[in-house]
Chain A
Amino acid sequence: MLIRRPDNIDPSEITDQSVYRQRRNFITGAAALGAAALLPNNAGAATKLPNLKKSAYKVDEPLTPYNDVTTYNNFYEFSTDKEGPAVLAKNFVTRPWDVMVDGLVHKPTTFGIEDLLKFSLEERVYRLRCVEGWSMVIPWVGFSLNEILKRVEPMGSAKFVEFTTLHDPNRMHGQRYPVLNWPYVEGLRLDEAQHPLTLIGLGLYGEVLPNQNGAPVRLVVPWKYGFKSAKSIVRIRLVEKMPVSSWMRASPSEYGFFSNVNPEVDHPRWSQARERRIGEFLKRKTLPFNGYGDQVASMYAGLDLKKFF
């Protein structure tokens, strides 16, 4: 089948000394972090995330302004309008928050949001390409999903990872309408989930994730269309069979499991060859794998990307 494990350990997966040192910094800052975690993030000014490690994972392109990143959102749990989530998610309460990691793992664990904030957080500047044909450059804060996967120890039988968004129509008004099959479900192949680029996002622009951007914890998979990066995650489950995502269920001919950014494979209703970077006037060419081909293309060697779109 489609299972392909990386055959060498990426140097970035080996914990280096600076990370150990970071842990010490982190212990001193832990009290502050813990306090930050308890604060509701809608209480006025956004909470700064301290002790961020600058990551080598960054693109050298101008950042999309904070205001655009936080007012132009696809977050159907709140609204199908782009401007809707910023308004309707304003009072969304994200504390307490637990993420259950279970399924085919040796050590199923429930991580509270305060546990997640204790991982070594780094700032990574990624491109984001929406399937609708626009893109942004966003400085995310978070850590590789693989850090969590290592802790829970996937069993040999685990082949895929399924992500589930909170389902609570009382708190997420958009879920009162059957626009999608709630709860929102997304999935990755295990090797994709373990890839160092795959990020657990807890913030952006150095601050706690704004509600409309998927607070308090989301996925960021920069080489796939934006909808693959599930928001407000409550469960991460390792499974044997390929999960059926909400978008696959909604329209299987338009949204495939992989949904890698690919200028060669058009959406049935519109072209994916170009994109409009928010803030720019002229469209730019869309890059294969959103420009991350060097890091990720090898995972798909031999796979017909037109068929497995």
Chain B
Amino acid sequence: MHLVPKAVLFLACLVPLGRLVWLAFSGGLGANPIEFVTRSTGTWTLALLLITLSITPLRRLTGRNTLISYRRMLGLFAFFYACLHFTTYIWLDQFFEWPAIVKDVIKRPFITVGFTAFVLLIPLAATSTYAMQRRLKRRWQQLHRLVYLIAICGVAHYWWLVKKDITEPAWYALALFLLLGYRLKLRLSATQAPRLNPK
């Protein structure tokens, strides 16, 4: 039923990766290609996380319930770019210099929260199938609420990394604030109308 739009969305989610590959082969990654790839994959992880989080509000505001069928793919693509981001850091940036990596994760708050966000994404990706959803029942939704914490960690990761000009992370923070604020509002009104079950 939604096969065509899903295929289009799938391809659209691959565009950022395709762009990186294109730039890599055309020499367009600039003077510091590893930094470019790290930044780009990180930015797309965050963007896709926020897009995933915007499905529920969009669905409620537009009344188009079919939107929910795209959420899993978006979430998995967020995880996909997080994996690329993490691999870039471990492999290209640090080149498996484990002592330095462990020190970074423990000592650098921005890496600590980024690493936390990545680790927390793993169980969500692993339980993203319908089978898991059925098997975990109510637990599934509880588990997947971790995405709020993950998104907060993701924005903090970006915010703390920037040297001085926080304009860009501030936009992501604002978007997250609105997305979480909307849910909070739903939750508060749900105390009056218990049938609403915000996610």
Could you tell me which A residues sit within 8 Å of B by CB distance? 67-68, 71-72, 76, 80, 82-83, 132, 134, 177, 179-180, 250-251, 266, 269-271, 273-274, 276, 278-279, 281-283
Contact = CB atoms under 8 A, between A and B. Distances in A.
A274 B163 CA distance: 18
Nearest to A134: B32
A82 B164 contact: no
Given A76-B165, A83-B30, A269-B109, 15 more contacts: A72-B32, A134-B35, A179-B164, A179-B165, A250-B164, A269-B108, A269-B160, A269-B161, A270-B104, A274-B100, A276-B32, A278-B31, A282-B95, A283-B93, A283-B94
Contacts of A250: 164
A177 B94 CA distance: 34
B103 interface: yes
B170 interface: no
Nearest to A227: B163
Contacts of B108: 269-271
A25 to B, nearest CB: 36
Contacts of A271: 100, 103-104, 108
Interface of B: 30-32, 34-35, 92-95, 97, 100, 103-104, 107-110, 160-161, 163-165, 167
Given A80-B164, A179-B164, A269 B110 contact: yes
If over half of A's interface residues share one DSSP class (helix, strand or loop), that class is named, otherwise mixed; here it is: loop
A131 to B, nearest CB: 8
Contact of A132 (B92, B160, B163): B163
10 contacts: A67-B31, A71-B31, A72-B31, A80-B165, A82-B31, A177-B165, A270-B108, A271-B100, A271-B104, A281-B92
A282 B93 CA distance: 8
Q: Which 4 A-B pairs have the closest CB atoms?
A: A72-B31, A68-B31, A80-B165, A179-B165
B100 A180 contact: no
A76 B164 contact: yes
A82 B165 contact: no
Find the residue from B30, B34, B103, B164 having the highest chain A CB count within 10 A. B164
B141 to A, nearest CB: 36
Nearest to A274: B100
Contacts of B104: 270-271
Contacts of B109: 269
B100 A273 contact: yes
Nearest to A73: B31
Contacts of A67: 31
Nearest to A74: B163
Given A179-B165, A283-B95, A82 B32 contact: yes
Contacts of B32: 72, 82, 134, 276, 278
A177 to B, nearest CB: 8
A269 B108 CA distance: 6
A80 B164 CA distance: 9
A283 B94 CA distance: 8
Contacts of B167: 80, 177
A285 to B, nearest CB: 11
Contacts of B95: 281-283
B163 A82 contact: no
A76 B103 CA distance: 30
Contacts of A132: 163
A308 to B, nearest CB: 22
Given A269-B109, A271-B104, A180 B34 contact: no
A76 B97 CA distance: 32
Nearest to A283: B95
B86 to A, nearest CB: 17
A138 B160 CA distance: 30
A82 B162 CA distance: 13
Nearest to B103: A271
